[in-house]
Amino acid sequence: MKQFDRKILYAILTAVFVLFSFGDSKAQNTAPTPTPLVKDDLKPVKDKQDVRPEKLKGVPPIARGYESKDRDLPDLGRVGVDMMSQKPLALREAIVKALENNIDIEVTRQDVKIAEFDLKAAGGSYEPRITGQTFYERATTPNISIFSSNQTTTSDSLVGNIRYEASIKEFGTKYYAEVDNQRLGTNNTISILSPQNNTSFTVGIVQPLMRGRKNDNQRRLIEIARKNLSLTDTQFRQKAIEITANVQRAYWDLTFALKNLQVQRDGVRDAKEQLAHNKRLVAEGVLAPIGVVAAETQVANLEQSVYAALETVNRAENILKSYIAKNRNDILWSDAIVPTDPVALKIPKISLTEALNSALENRPELESNEVAAKINEIDREFYKEQNRPKVDLTASYSSTGISGKFNRNFETPFQPSECQSDPAAAVCLAAIAEQNARIIESAQAFTGGTQSTFTDILLNRYPTYRIGVQIDLPLFGNRTTKANLGKTLVQADKLRFQKDRIEQVIQMDVRNAMQSLRTAEARLRAAAISRENSEKQYESEKRKLDAGLSDIYKVLERQTAFVKARSLEVQSQIELNKSIAELQKATGNSLKANEVETRLRK
């Protein structure tokens, strides 16, 4: 009876299968009639292409018969890198190399050197200096004097002078000493001495009483150059902090890429072991042959992940090398970098208040703003000084000396009174002789060599004293100076607003960095739990498969989840390390935290 019921059941199932097959076949062979193209819902559209599939002509098939038969994997290596030449690299070593070799840092170093030279140049205006000149001159001029009968006058002159100038920077005082020496020769008959030596020695002083006493343009430029040097040093430190943070991120990115590559390779190894295990189960008749195909697919998929991870390693390594290599010819480009620092960093325990105070004390942006404010203060004081009247006290002393030889061609242009009636009379001639004798006698007091002129100076025979006041006062006010002063006052307000904005940005950076640190810490904890549980689920599913209580697809699904969980845990740890680096940057402690000291390379 049971055998008869079984035959009836088989007959019913066969009939149902035939009916469904017939219905599907009819449905497949029955195609809906296409709606004709119409215009205004009345007339067919003319001159338009019929795009129904059965009407398309001349369309070639795409990759007909394509099949990938090459099952060999390409070389598991990095382009341009010798995997046998490994370069162990610690994080601090990478930072030091970046600060030594980075092009941006080197440019900033040059800016510091330029600022030093600017300071030296500005101080040069107060350095003592010596000036002088010497020349020989011969000049012939027409004679238009009634006192000489010569048609032309020819004179020779040899001039030499030297001047010493210096300043007292604190008071704006300027003083000088000058020696002038001149030797004159002429054929003019009314000149008593020819050649004639004239020498003078002069000392003088100019002391500002109002404008320029406390401040002047030279002192202003020196102070600005000194502040600019401090500003450039601050900018150099800021650039060093930025480079340090970038190297930290690149270092940890490379660390993650290498660890993730290892995770993916472990996944491939595990998948291959599962494939071998599935083949044994198929051979034993426990598992269907499709289980081998599924395992092979899993191996292929994970191998793709390996090569994607390898490309990530290559990119991360090149980014790090771009920071620490000297140039494109550095041998480091062909080395395989191996990070050596431990991944599990100590999480800093710092409150928000402490972090903000540290940032406000150490951030270079605030230092730059402060230096700019000091430069603005220097400008304000200078332009205030320039609005004052210019009153200078001047004093000088000079001593002169004269010597020479009696001019043998000398003729007095003045005739004695005895010659008015008869120039040829004996009385006239005697008077002329007596007059010439007196002139010669007086000229003998000046005759002598050049040494006698210095003797006159030393004996102070012919002194000149001068003391006075120089005044420079614009009648309608100094518009330019007032405008410049107003400009500096506006700039001072601008700098105060910028400082408030910088402090807000710093507060935002610190808050974001601390929140990112807490989030990264929580994500790492969750990722570790997820990885641990995924591993347990994967192992459990494998045991269930061996006992016939599960299928291969669930095993492969658990395996994929486990690989992702391992990768996510590594990524979470690296993100935590990068969050620590961001907090160091936000608080301005990147250099100190990594025990790096920046200094200008001489």
The predicted pLDDT at position 319 comes to 94
Inter-CA distances, 27 with 17, 20, 33, 528, 536, Å: 15, 10, 13, 54, 49
DSSP state, residue 292: H
CA angle 531, 536, 538 (to 5 degrees): 90
Q: Of 106-110, 117-121, 590-594, where does mean pLDDT reach its minimum?
A: 106-110
pLDDT tens digits, one per residue of 179-213: 999 988 888 777 777 788 889 999 999 999 988 88
pLDDT tens digits, one per residue of 566-577: 999 999 999 999
Q: Mean pLDDT, the chain, as a whole number?
A: 82
Q: Is 172 helix (H, G, I), strand (E, B) or coil?
A: coil
193-208 and 390-406 beta bridge pairing: antiparallel
Closest CA to 548 of 181, 217, 288: 288
Burial class (CB in 10 A: 0-12, 13-18, 19+), 339: buried
Token pair, residue 371, equals: 């230096």
Burial class (CB in 10 A: 0-12, 13-18, 19+), 584: buried
Percentage of the residues of the chain whose pLDDT score is greater than 90: 38
**Distance of alpha carbon 241 from alpha carbon 233, whole angstroms:** 12
The predicted pLDDT at position 216 comes to 86
Separation of first and last alpha carbons in the chain:
108
**Distance of alpha carbon 593 from alpha carbon 366, whole angstroms:** 20
Q: Is 387 helix (H, G, I), strand (E, B) or coil?
A: coil
The predicted pLDDT at position 13 comes to 46
Question: Residues 346-369: what's their mean pLDDT?
Answer: 92
**Distance of alpha carbon 424 from alpha carbon 418, whole angstroms:** 10
The predicted pLDDT at position 576 comes to 94
The answer to whether the beta carbons of residues 343 and 574 sit under 8 Å apart is: yes
Residue type for position 78:
R
Residue 298 has pLDDT above 90, yes or no: no
In which element (H, E) is residue 471 found? strand 462-472
CA angle 186, 188, 194 (to 5 degrees): 40
Residue of higher predicted confidence among 441 and 366: 366
CB within 8 A of 32, min separation 6: which ones?
A: none
The predicted pLDDT at position 508 comes to 96
Residue 233 has pLDDT above 90, yes or no: no
The answer to whether the beta carbons of residues 446 and 401 sit under 8 Å apart is: no
DSSP state, residue 419: G
> Residue 387 — very low, low, confident or very high, per pLDDT cuts 50/70/90?
confident
DSSP structure string for 258-269: HHHHHHHHHHHH
pLDDT tens digits, one per residue of 136-152: 999 888 877 666 667 78
> Residue 281 — very low, low, confident or very high, per pLDDT cuts 50/70/90?
confident
How long, in residues, is the chain?
602
**Distance of alpha carbon 365 from alpha carbon 503, whole angstroms:** 9
Residue of higher predicted confidence among 17 and 159: 159
pLDDT tens digits, one per residue of 481-494: 889 999 999 999 99
Q: Is 189 helix (H, G, I), strand (E, B) or coil?
A: coil
**Distance of alpha carbon 544 from alpha carbon 552, whole angstroms:** 10
Q: How many beta carbons lie within 10 A of that of residue 129, not counting itself?
A: 13
The predicted pLDDT at position 602 comes to 47
Closest CA to 515 of 586, 589, 567, 592: 586
The predicted pLDDT at position 516 comes to 94
pLDDT tens digits, one per residue of 30-44: 333 443 443 344 344
DSSP state, residue 425: S
Q: Is this model's pTM higher than 0.75 or not?
A: no
The answer to whether the beta carbons of residues 402 and 446 sit under 8 Å apart is: yes
CATH architecture of 253-382+480-593: Up-down Bundle (1.20)
The predicted pLDDT at position 77 comes to 72
The answer to whether the beta carbons of residues 310 and 261 sit under 8 Å apart is: yes
Where do runs of H (alpha helix) occur along 80-166? 91-101, 103-123
CB within 8 A of 462, min separation 6: which ones?
A: 399, 400, 401, 402, 456
SS3 annotation, 42-92: CEECCCCCCCCHHHCCCCCCCCCCCCCCCCCCCCCCCCCCCCCCEEEECHH
Domain spans of the chain, in order of start = 128-211+390-472, 253-382+480-593
**Distance of alpha carbon 596 from alpha carbon 94, whole angstroms:** 11
> Residue 282 — very low, low, confident or very high, per pLDDT cuts 50/70/90?
confident
Question: Residues 356-364: what's their mean pLDDT?
Answer: 93
Residue 20 has pLDDT above 70, yes or no: no
Q: Is 153 helix (H, G, I), strand (E, B) or coil?
A: strand
Question: Residues 427-435: what's their mean pLDDT?
Answer: 71
Question: Residues 80-91: what's their mean pLDDT?
Answer: 87
The predicted pLDDT at position 45 comes to 42
The two most distant CA atoms of the chain are separated, in Å, by 195
Question: Residues 245-258: what's their mean pLDDT?
Answer: 94
